[in-house]
Amino acid sequence: MPLLSPALGATLPDSPHATVVCLPTLDDVIAYERKEARVWSLIRAGYPRFVRNELVARAAQEAARRLGRAGELFPLVSAESARRLAAHVGAELTSLDAVGDWWLAATPAGDAALRLAKMVQHTGTLISSRQAEAWLAGEAPADGAAAATSIRAALAPLLAGVPPADILLAVAGMNAVAAGLAAVEAVQRPRGRADWIQLGWLYVDSTRLFEKARDARRHFVPDVRDLAAVERLLATGAVAGVLTEIPNNPQLETADLPALRALCDKHGAKLLLDPSSVGLASVDVMAYADVLVSSLTKYAASEGDVMAGVLAIAPHRADAAAMLAAARARLAPLHPLDLHALAAQVGRLEEVTRRLSANAAELARRLAAHPAVVRVRTADQGPTAANYLRVRRPGAGAGALITIELRGDMRAVYDRLAVGKGPSFGLRYTLAAPFLWLAHFDEVTTEQGRAGLRAAGLDPDLLRVSVGLEPVEEIWAAFVAALPK
């Protein structure tokens, strides 16, 4: 049966808790980014840090009606998150009310409210759709202890040396990233270390957290191979830590972790690693990290209906106990209902990752030989392949992601491609996205921005594909039909 491109506004899966909203054409992507009613009037769910789920919006409106609150509404996981983020952006909270097991914050409309909305996005602190649904239905709070134990037991073999009780489960991968940064800063700032090194291109919200830090400098080293530049910065003695993705997204390039670890040890910096792009079952990087953070929305929750993240502190590293305490204090724990949903899927993590990787490798091989394709990137090919293979688990592949650079017009190929089209990856569905048009819209729509992306080694019109579990011949047929002959 041939694959189909779901309609504009459809979700994958067909669930009120779906994390993927479909944007079938590049015009739809542009309208989505510009907040045009043509697209947004059809959206009921999507990636929850970017799309406020209809259930979450309804819960906020109903709570505001009952409480008599007005203004811009933020249904948040904790009062602490509301106060800290509002203070960070200079937003006045006109009210902050406990509503069941969540909090409703209100602030006047305006620039400060927009800044607060962005920080809520970057840190993943909105309540989940399941949490909102339960409150709207008047359901009593659930107990997630057994589910959390089950999830930690499934993840523990992939986080070598970390006691299961110290595997911290967060409301989102970005919430884990924010907590990991805070954990490092808790021990490094008293030593006069506040700077960060961003090694390689990072996921957009990780970069935004650095950019919006009030009193810390971010040093961007675009090439993950440029450890000489990293050492020059580390030698200043001002660097708190280095953050890099293993591999990064969408370039799929990997730093030399043993060499990077040695540099951090030599100069007293912490190393924060994020393997979200290939998943915990693909790479073993705990031995090199001070702090490991990862999304569980991908690979672990392969149905596409749970947001979650994980944070682990390497117990054998200096300052481990202090960083763990700081991470616990900052992280927003995953809601019990989402713990139950994740527990039902996480046991398939290793098998799903293996199958996704195999399909992705085969599709990448075929695309690389197609005359309409200039380049295909995968984590285990290209200039940093040896670095990736050094940390790849025995028998593992390179994850679900491949990046395609086309010879002709990306728009025509994207519009014709009969697969799911929207953000996210590591799911059982094949997904294609004009990634930089979604993550860096302001840059791809100006000549100066496009030049900057090219200077960072990125084709502004690349297609990022997350290869799913469909029969590979069906996936291939969809690409053959979309690519120019």
**Nearest CA among 260, 269, 326 for reference residue 288:** 260
Confidence of residue 84 (pLDDT cuts 50, 70, 90): very high
**Contact in structure between 168 and 296 (CB atoms under 8 Å):** no
pLDDT at 292: 98
Quick one: pLDDT at residue 207?
87
Q: What is the DSSP string of 147-176?
A: HHHHHHHHHGGGSTT--GGG-EEESSHHHH
> Looking at residue 123, what is its pLDDT?
96
Residue partners of 360: CB distance under 8 A and separation at least 6:
378, 397, 398, 399, 400, 401, 402, 465, 467
Are 196 and 240 spatial neighbours (Cβ–Cβ below 8 Å)? Answer: yes
pLDDT of residue 445: 96
- Of 3.90.920.10, 3.40.50.1820, 3.40.50.720, 3.40.640.10, the CATH number of 145-346 is 3.40.640.10
305: amino acid identity, one letter: D
Q: Give the whole-angstrom CA distance, residue 423 versus residue 431.
A: 7
Question: What's the mean pLDDT in 159-168?
Answer: 97
Query: Is the whole-model pTM more than 0.75?
Result: yes
Burial class of 383 by CB neighbour count within 10 A (0 to 12, 13 to 18, 19+): exposed
Average pLDDT on 290-296 reads 98
Q: Residue 240 has what pLDDT?
A: 97
So where are the chain's domains? Answer: 11-19+349-482, 54-125, 145-346
| DSSP H or E stretch at residue 192 | none
Residues 6+ apart with CB under 8 A from 259: 227
Average pLDDT, integer, range 264-288: 98
Q: Does residue 306 surpass a pLDDT of 80?
A: yes
Q: Is the pLDDT of residue 418 over 90?
A: yes
Could you count the other beta carbons within 10 Å of the beta carbon of residue 44? 15
- In this prediction, residue 203 has a pLDDT band, given cuts at 50, 70 and 90, of confident
Assign 137 a pLDDT band (cuts: 50, 70, 90).
very high
pLDDT tens, position by position, 332-379: 999 999 999 999 999 999 999 999 999 999 999 999 999 999 999 999
Helices 257-267/227-234 angle, 10° precision? 10
Instruction: For residues 420-439, give the mean pLDDT.
Output: 96
Mean residue pLDDT of the chain comes to: 96
Closest CA to 242 of 212, 272, 209, 263: 272
Task: Write down the pLDDT at residue 4.
Answer: 85
Q: What is the pLDDT of residues 205-234, one digit of tens each?
A: 898 888 888 788 999 999 999 999 999 999
Domain 11-19+349-482: top CATH class: alpha beta
Backbone angles phi, psi at 104, to 5 degrees: -105, 115
pLDDT at position 1 is 58
Token readout for 56 is: 């979450």
Q: Is the pLDDT of residue 485 over 90?
A: no
The answer on pLDDT for 298 being more than 90 is yes
- Residue 141 clears pLDDT 90, i.e. is over it: no
Structure tokens that stand for 100 in this block: 């069941």
Concatenated DSSP letters of 12-26: ESSSTT-SEE---SH
